[in-house]
Structure 1
């Protein structure tokens, strides 16, 4: 059996969890072909991502002429299925934010994949994210491609489910995967109850690179780390205000922001305005090994998000035996347990965030290490990629 994976951008700095999932699926004995709609090769830092890129075919790499050629070639050789796909693309486009033209492009991308799949013997297509990759997968199936499935992470799919035709994608899919109980409930909201049995929770996972790390003592230095894209929903703007509040109390707090994004310049300006240049630094994007070093050099991971699915970096921090401060949203409470392996605060509450950070900084390292060990046990039980991939491989084989 040959599985095709389709992602909008793959490999990508923030998609190491997909890379681990593919490796674990292959370890189950299945063959996996990688496909990405767009390339972000220039942004890749991690050596493993660079190697993965060499295994990945880029759909839009064929260029405009390639899009037109594949669109017309399928129309000529498979007219009836192509017309069905065209009607579906028009229907989806009329109810979407992108419009009909974008969906005609998605149809052309589906035609490229159909031709590639016929040459390589792909028997099932799995898309990550319920956005345009799932749209292309559905259109590919409509024009005669293989059965498809897709993984929903959130929160974007739940922000605009009707525009994304989420119910249509679920109805036509062989099965649907989601990463938390919370997101499964959200999917239940947007499809008929007759479809509920095809929705499965298969969590993102970590491999032995995390679980076999040597234990390191938690630093006595007031170091905190936040890993993620620098954007509104990740809450770094609120986090800076919390650090400013603690600074006004003469409580030392060193914060490392690992990541990059559209708010970097705004965040850099705020750091200066708040007088936090000696306390807060931004690293930019980092390799997986560098992220691990930043986490292990901290007392805790801080993630002040107010829009999430279930962040993989939380799993990574707990697997490295560092407690986590995060928010009561989405799937996060399924992993972070207050007083056991971390703290949860209401999203948007700077006061609650500052209070949790204050406690992290003032607790004895022995207590933090105890919480870290509890976090490790929870991740090892719930987010072992070998276990999760085995369930997914079973779904592929019976789809």
Structure 2
């Protein structure tokens, strides 16, 4: 099959789940091209980017200026440079009678540029995040690309985007898209509430490469020995790290102990604020903000940790998680996890079996669950084993990619098949 991926930022270290899906399809023998909005400004490039020459397969849309006058001047230049190469496509992109404000705003003109000199006939147009689905719909409507349009919804696109633009933001996409694959049942129900036809919905989870995450070799801590906690995330509000930090402060105050080490990996807008909180709570000796790390370094730190914390919350602007991939990675390494009743996380973490779940922003409960794992190392070990079994059964990347391939084949060759029977 020939597959086009429509993405926002590429490559993005924080979205390795998308990269893994692309690589998996290439390994299965499919031809993959990537169309992205922005180039990542991250210094670290995943080795598989080079191994599979993915940047040579990647095409970027011209940046659209916010200022309309600048947008018009740049658009005129783009049209002038390209009209003799594909005048029909340029004219279609400017047809305001058919495409209304999307043509009048010149967005369609900018979107069609990567396809001026390309024979853009694909079997599948795989879009990650709702706004990429809208882009795929628009370029298909003007004849710049052809293929079955599949949109995967992750979280941000059905929370913050809907909060900002309203629940009708994807109405046209729901009508014209061929298939929608939310990553959890939680988001499936949300899409149904927003008006998506249930018969077009297919839950397809993100997974991990189990070969990269062997069981942790950390010594099995005993009660009263130091316990190493770890979080791996962007330092943004919805990750809830403030509450993990405050929970550590509560434990140290209530129990008057000093046997906790908490490592936080990642970077983001809240780094200075979180560092100041750590300083104000006198936690600099036990909590370390490590910043962004390479994937090998992340695995190494997980390997010497005892518990992963992922205290996700709904941010003030409505932004929510999907299902954090780091939870899957930690569970694959047999680490017990502590997270929250948030989004699709309860579909991954079975409370009391593979880890603990607490209400969002509940510092007391979070501290209590950390203490429980400190005091019950044998149960901690059993939770780790249960988590590994869950990942092997439901979040094995290789099996999920095979399932995705079969789904593509069905939608191509059995257009009337019933999605519900494939869940």
TM-score (norm 1): 0.87
Distance, in Å, in 1 between the alignment partners of 2:110 and 2:292 is 30
User: For residue 337 of structure 1, what is the aligned residue in structure 2?
Assistant: 350
User: For residue 421 of structure 2, what is the aligned residue in structure 1?
Assistant: none
Bigger-Rg structure (1/2): 2
Output one character per residue of 1:50-90: Cα deviation in whole Å (capped at 9) or x when no partner.
55653442414689577545785698314774356885461
- Shift of the 323–346 alpha-carbon distance from structure 1 to 2, 3 Å rule, reads same
Distance, in Å, in 1 between the alignment partners of 2:46 and 2:212 is 16
Distance, in Å, in 2 between the alignment partners of 1:367 and 1:113 is 55
Output one character per residue of 1:273-300: Cα deviation in whole Å (capped at 9) or x when no partner.
1111111111111122111112121111
Q: Which moved more, 1:312-321 or 1:148-157?
A: 148-157
User: For residue 21 of structure 1, what is the aligned residue in structure 2?
Assistant: 21
CA contact (8 A) 2:215 2:334 kept: no
Aligned ranges 1:1-399 → 2 under 5 Å: 1-49=1-49, 51=51, 54-60=55-61, 64=74, 67-68=78-79, 76-78=87-89, 81-82=92-93, 87-88=98-99, 90=101, 101=105, 104-105=106-107, 107-115=108-116, 117-118=118-119, 121-131=121-131, 133-144=132-143, 145-147=145-147, 148-161=149-162, 163=166, 165-192=169-196, 195-210=197-212, 213=214, 216-220=217-221, 221-249=226-254, 250-251=256-257, 252-306=259-313, 307-364=320-377, 366-397=378-409, 398-399=411-412
- SS of 2:202's partner is strand
CA contact (8 A) 1:151 1:176 kept: yes
Shift, 1:36, TM fit: 1.9
The runs of 5 or more residues in structure 2 that have no matched partner are: 65-73, 314-319, 413-423
Q: Which moved more, 1:12-21 or 1:366-375?
A: 366-375
- SS of 2:235's partner is coil
- Shift of the 141–239 alpha-carbon distance from structure 1 to 2, 3 Å rule, reads same
RMSD (Å) for aligned C-alpha atoms? 2.6
Shift, 1:113, TM fit: 3.7
Distance, in Å, in 1 between the alignment partners of 2:381 and 2:56 is 40
Distance, in Å, in 2 between the alignment partners of 1:202 and 1:262 is 31
The runs of 5 or more residues in structure 1 that have no matched partner are: 94-99
Distance, in Å, in 2 between the alignment partners of 1:89 and 1:73 is 24
Q: Which moved more, 1:344-353 or 1:168-177?
A: 168-177
CA contact (8 A) 2:216 2:335 kept: no
Output one character per residue of 1:108-148: Cα deviation in whole Å (capped at 9) or x when no partner.
34202433542x643332111112x2221111111012132
Distance, in Å, in 1 between the alignment partners of 2:210 and 2:391 is 12
CA contact (8 A) 1:129 1:152 kept: yes
Distance, in Å, in 2 between the alignment partners of 1:216 and 1:153 is 32
- SS of 1:123's partner is strand
Output one character per residue of 1:217-240: Cα deviation in whole Å (capped at 9) or x when no partner.
444231100110001111111111
- Shift of the 263–201 alpha-carbon distance from structure 1 to 2, 3 Å rule, reads same
Number of residue-to-residue matches in the alignment: 383
Shift, 1:158, TM fit: 2.9
CA contact (8 A) 2:111 2:139 kept: yes
User: For residue 97 of structure 1, what is the aligned residue in structure 2?
Assistant: none
CA contact (8 A) 1:345 1:352 kept: yes
